[in-house]
Amino acid sequence: MSLNADPAFWAAANTHLTRYGPDFESIIVERAEGSFVYDADDRAILDFTSGQMSAVLGHTHPDIVATVDRQMRSVAHLFSGMLSRPVVDLASRLAALAPGLDRVQLLTTGAESNEAAIRMAKLVTGGHEIVAFAQSWHGMTGAAASATYSAGRKGYGPAAAGSFVIPAPNSYRPRFTHPDGSNDWQAELDDAFRLIDNQSTGNLAAFIAEPILSSGGILELPPGYLAALKRKCEERGMLLILDEAQTGVARTGDMFAFQRDGVTPDILTLSKTLGAGLPLAAVMTTAAIEEKAHERGFLFYTTHVSDPLPAAVGVTVLDVVERDRLVAQAVARGQRLKSGLMSLQQKYECVGDVRGRGLLLGLEIVTDRQTKAPGFELGAKVMEEAMHRGLSMNIVKLPGMGGVFRIAPPLTVSDAEIDLGLEIMSDAIDAALGTH
Ligand SMILES: Cc1ncc(COP(=O)(O)O)c(C=O)c1O
């Protein structure tokens, strides 16, 4: 019998754990290393979601282990008004990587970083209306959840007053098209902002956006879109907040995804990838915005703000990214993975689209290439078959889209591991289609 079936473990889990989302996987994870997690039978499972899209250096990276050990022995946590060297080091390192965004606050989670960003935008603009994409995910807490539209909207009472939404551009399923059928995102954006102007009571504070909407099905903002969005914000006195929880820290083949577009946001939030799997987040902004916020008494005082342990981890993450040239590696390995996924698209009718950049890629499953009819059941089957064969992938199910696999291995993934993942994916699709 598989050790994953441990009756005492599952009896306790089923009795004592709150179910906070989709079903738990039916394995017990005992350890993890590099690109693999190992279950109770010591079976190696290739982790193509980098944990929860965070473990950019793979699991139990020796440099992170050494930093946690060293920092834990000196100082881990402090009174929130006390400073330590790792905090100032990390703030300086981040500021050097994102010219113009000189002021940094270090926090814990993605949702929390977006709370801080939205709170600052409200204070600085004097407005309270927040616009986001209809396929967004910014977190599970108050303001972040009010700006999250891809899931979890219903059943929790009112969202914040002044929560508005526009559609994210989708090149595979465009709503507005040029005569040649390609996505006319500018027309869509203009139309959307006409509706925002109709709804606004004159208190617009910010637009919050992911450069690649990940939980929204790997929707990439096309080149030029961010610049156009920034103009829309400037015309209305709104701030542009970019949430790079998933896209930051080399994941997309740039240090930050916004760098491809040459558009610096007013506020940048980083989380997941910054701590490479440990809870660390940062809110970065310009000196001018921070000055104004401070003048108005900005308060975002938390238990774990400026904690030295996660900050030291963040410094090590940046060191390893630089030393091991992981930005370039995300480009190279990303190309290998994307071309492999495109071969799958050629081989299988059910692979409708392959998209994304660097090592944040999406593969959309449809039941019909022509009509692009969503293939949720087939996608779920592929996911199950992949897991069965030792590959963990995550599928996003949203209305109006097929099942979309979010494929984001650690940036340290090897060519051989990418090839192994592609081989398992191919076998899993064959099995799900019943051709094997
Ligand atoms: C883009 C983005 N922002 C924010 C969050 C929320 O982060 P956390 O779960 O750490 O609060 C997520 C989590 O999936 C995310 O993908």
Catalytically active residues are: 137, 210, 243, 246, 272, 406
Closest approach atom of ligand 1 to CA 271: 10
Give the pLDDT mean for 267-285: 98
> How far is residue 363 from each of residues 107, 218, 355, measured CA to CA in Å?
32, 8, 7
Nearest CA to ligand 1 atom 8: 110
What is the 141 CA–ligand 1 centroid distance (Å)? 10
What is the 11 CA–ligand 1 centroid distance (Å)? 30
Give the pLDDT mean for 163-170: 98
Pocket lining for ligand 1, CB < 6 angstroms: 109-111, 114, 137-139, 210, 214-215, 243, 245-246, 271
Write down the pLDDT at residue 436.
60
Q: What tens digit of pLDDT does each residue of 373-418 get? A: 999 999 999 999 999 999 999 898 887 777 999 999 999 999 999 9
Side-chain half-sphere of 134: how many Cα atoms within 13 Å? 11
Q: What tens digit of pLDDT does each residue of 4-38 get? A: 999 999 999 999 999 999 899 999 999 999 999 99
What is the 360 CA–ligand 1 centroid distance (Å)? 15
Nearest CA to ligand 1 atom 13: 139
What is the 135 CA–ligand 1 centroid distance (Å)? 13
Give the pLDDT mean for 146-165: 97
Write down the pLDDT at residue 236.
98
Q: What tens digit of pLDDT does each residue of 248-261 get? A: 999 999 999 999 99
Write down the pLDDT at residue 7.
97
Give the pLDDT mean for 87-95: 98
* Averaged pLDDT of the chain: 97
Write down the pLDDT at residue 435.
73
Write down the pLDDT at residue 400.
77
β-strand pairing of 29-33 with 219-220: unpaired
What is the 215 CA–ligand 1 centroid distance (Å)? 9
Q: What tens digit of pLDDT does each residue of 284-330 get? A: 999 999 999 999 999 999 999 999 999 999 999 999 999 999 999 99
Write down the pLDDT at residue 398.
80
Nearest CA to ligand 1 atom 1: 245
Contact 52, 410 (CB under 8 A): no
**Is residue 266 very low, low, confident or very high in pLDDT (cuts 50, 70, 90)?**
very high
- Ligand 1 probe mutation, 107, 114, 138, 241, most atoms within 8 A of CB: 138
Closest approach atom of ligand 1 to CA 272: 10
**Is residue 274 very low, low, confident or very high in pLDDT (cuts 50, 70, 90)?**
very high
| Rounded Cα–Cα distance for residues 334 and 358 (Å) | 5
Closest approach atom of ligand 1 to CA 108: 10
Write down the pLDDT at residue 26.
94
Q: What angle do CA 277, 321, 264 make, to 5 degrees?
A: 90
- DSSP β-bridge partners for residue 15: none
What is the 245 CA–ligand 1 centroid distance (Å)? 6
Closest approach atom of ligand 1 to CA 281: 10
Q: What tens digit of pLDDT does each residue of 38-86 get? A: 999 999 999 999 999 999 999 999 999 999 999 999 999 999 999 999 9
Contact 138, 150 (CB under 8 A): no
Write down the pLDDT at residue 412.
98
- Ligand 1 probe mutation, 53, 270, 271, most atoms within 8 A of CB: 271
Nearest CA to ligand 1 atom 3: 138
What is the 137 CA–ligand 1 centroid distance (Å)? 6
Q: Which residue in 13, 241, 237, 215 sits closest to 116, CA to CA? A: 241
* Ranges of H-type helices in 301-348: 308-323, 326-347
| Rounded Cα–Cα distance for residues 320 and 177 (Å) | 43
Closest approach atom of ligand 1 to CA 114: 4
Closest approach atom of ligand 1 to CA 247: 1
* Ranges of H-type helices in 20-126: 50-53, 62-74, 85-97, 110-125
Asked whether the predicted pLDDT for residue 358 surpasses 80, the reply is yes
What is the 110 CA–ligand 1 centroid distance (Å)? 5
Q: What tens digit of pLDDT does each residue of 205-245 get? A: 999 999 999 999 999 999 999 999 999 999 999 999 999 99
Q: What tens digit of pLDDT does each residue of 117-136 get? A: 999 999 999 999 999 999 99
pTM over 0.75: yes
Write down the pLDDT at residue 402.
76
β-strand pairing of 403-407 with 394-396: antiparallel
Cβ-proximal residues to 395 (8 Å cutoff; 6+ apart), any chain: 365, 379, 380, 382, 383, 403, 404, 405, 406
**Is residue 429 very low, low, confident or very high in pLDDT (cuts 50, 70, 90)?**
very high
For tokens 């701590």, name the residue: 275
Nearest CA to ligand 1 atom 4: 138
